[in-house]
Amino acid sequence: MMRAIVLLHRWLGIAFCLLFAMWFATGIVMHFVPFPSLTEAERFAGLVPLDRAGTRVAVDNAVAASGIADATRVRLIQRSDGPVYVVTGQSRAGAVRASDGGDASVASSDVALAIARDHASSRGLEAARAARAAIVARSDYDQWSVPNGFDRHRPLFRVGLGDAAATEVYVSSLTGEIVLDTTRYERAWNLVGSVLHWIYPTVLRSNWSLWDRVVWTLSLLALIAALLGAVLGLARIKPRGGLIGSPYRGWHALHHLIGLASMVFVLTWIFSGWLSMDHGRLFSRGQLISAESSVMNAPPNWTAAPSLDRQPVSPSAREIEWFSFNGTLYRRDRTGLAGQTLIKAGDAPRDGPTGYLDGHEVQVLTARLAAGCGAPSALGDNDNYPAQSTVPGGPVYRSHCGELWFDIDGADGNLLQRLDPSRRAYRWFYGALHTLDFPVLVAHPLLRDGLVVGLCALGFLFSITGIVIGWRRLRPSFAA
């Protein structure tokens, strides 16, 4: 039995030692430079005040013109070619010109380029002043747009802004919105960070199911190699004068002793990394079940929208959104990243520029989602599994419905998290173990940074000893 363990560990170790070293090294990079995305602050900064004079089509007519039968949200934004309604449903998204109800999807490179320039100018990027922006490509996938969240926007126009940071922005061909931006710094570090760590080359990641199976299998085999090594490492301990010793010499002794020192971290980190590819295999995915989705995502009665539009709009509004919450239509006027007015159909505007849904409205909805729901509470920084509102400082309401928790954004009514016991366990087994985002460490970011770097460096050093041992074993075969 022990000989079988030795042989399995040896050859799995040789096969995966480079992968282990890569994971630990790239994990350090990822901790400081995440995968490129367009933050809500960046998206909103790229919007300009609305020109309501150009809006001649009512919201309900825009929804009808879009052809999206399950439309749940509509946003009015100002594009370079005029005001546009962005209609979003569970199935797809689309855009309708607010001037005449025509199709506002982007087929022309010139329109995409003008949208990108306006976005850059509104954000104060230097390229807008230099007018050096140019279309780089129009495609379904590239290295930075492979995540599935962009599926409803493909194909994408990639526009290089020509600034000092080599910023590139991606324009949705279906809605004309900026959906992603990257810089040279992000791209360079992610090539030696996320792309390697996730085994994320475009040709593989563009086929999600294939990528999922490949990385899940590799991670499982790596976990088995680590578990076998832990068994051998413990079995081969040789006490020396009350201290832990090794029967090995040279690189084998280093591999043994460093492996014992890093064993707990290596095992939990590889295990939690494997769980990052779980995708519902062992734990729930945190998604609404069919009955819950029919309540949460029920299309509203859009004919009620014109009554909301009788309320005045601030001249500084950059975005207007209509959405349904618990069967009632709301209008949300956004004047700033953290400034909004929320108007309920048949109601007056709420006090001040930061109107939100209140706890009672959330309670009425969650009572329809599940049985036994108590009064929702606004989340604070000390809560378990905290969720963040899209609006800085906006409230997030948590409803406990027995063992089922719902976190709802008070700013826009979106469900942020559905946490059943399985999902809460997954949060600890994956999130906490893999990123060390334990509450006590999140409260002390420098300590957390130091632990992440130190532990990953220890794991990298351990992997290097395995590479040396593996190379020495294979070298005679190459020489022959």
Give pLDDT tens digits for 395-418: 999 999 999 999 999 999 999 999
Beta bridge partners of 377: 398
Model pLDDT, residue 292: 93
Closest residue by Cα to residue 389 from 340, 324, 428, 443? 340
Residues ≥6 apart with Cβ < 8 Å to 265: 455, 458, 459
Structure tokens at 110: 């010139």
Structure tokens at 340: 């909004």
Residue 231 has pLDDT above 70, yes or no: yes
Confidence band for 439, pLDDT divided at 50, 70 and 90: confident
Chain position carrying tokens 């976005």 = 119
Strands 82-89 and 93-97: antiparallel
Model pLDDT, residue 30: 98
Closest residue by Cα to residue 221 from 271, 265, 276, 262? 271
Model pLDDT, residue 353: 45
What is the per-residue pLDDT across 31-48, written as a single tens digit (0 to 9) for each? 999 999 999 999 999 999
Share of the chain above pLDDT 70, in %: 95
Contact 386, 403 (CB under 8 A): no
What is the per-residue pLDDT across 303-352, written as a single tens digit (0 to 9) for each? 888 888 888 888 899 999 999 999 889 999 999 999 999 998 876 555 44
Neighbour-count burial of 68, counting CB atoms closer than 10 A to its CB (0-12 exposed, 13-18 middle, 19+ buried): buried
What is the per-residue pLDDT across 105-163, written as a single tens digit (0 to 9) for each? 999 999 999 999 999 999 988 654 446 788 888 989 999 999 999 999 999 999 999 99
Beta bridge partners of 171: 157, 178
Q: For CA atoms 176, 394, 331, 362, give the dihedral sign.
A: positive
Model pLDDT, residue 355: 87
Model pLDDT, residue 379: 85
Model pLDDT, residue 138: 92
Residue range 268-296: mean pLDDT, rounded: 95
Amino acid at 73: R
Closest residue by Cα to residue 226 from 27, 473, 16? 16
Q: How far is CA 414 from the centre of its chain?
A: 16
Model pLDDT, residue 381: 66
DSSP state of 428: I
Model pLDDT, residue 349: 54
| Axis crossing angle, helix 2-32 with helix 250-275, rounded to the nearest 10 | 60
Model pLDDT, residue 273: 97
Contact 418, 287 (CB under 8 A): yes
Confidence band for 478, pLDDT divided at 50, 70 and 90: low
Report the range of poorest mean pLDDT among 64-78, 128-142, 417-431, 440-454: 128-142
DSSP state of 370: S
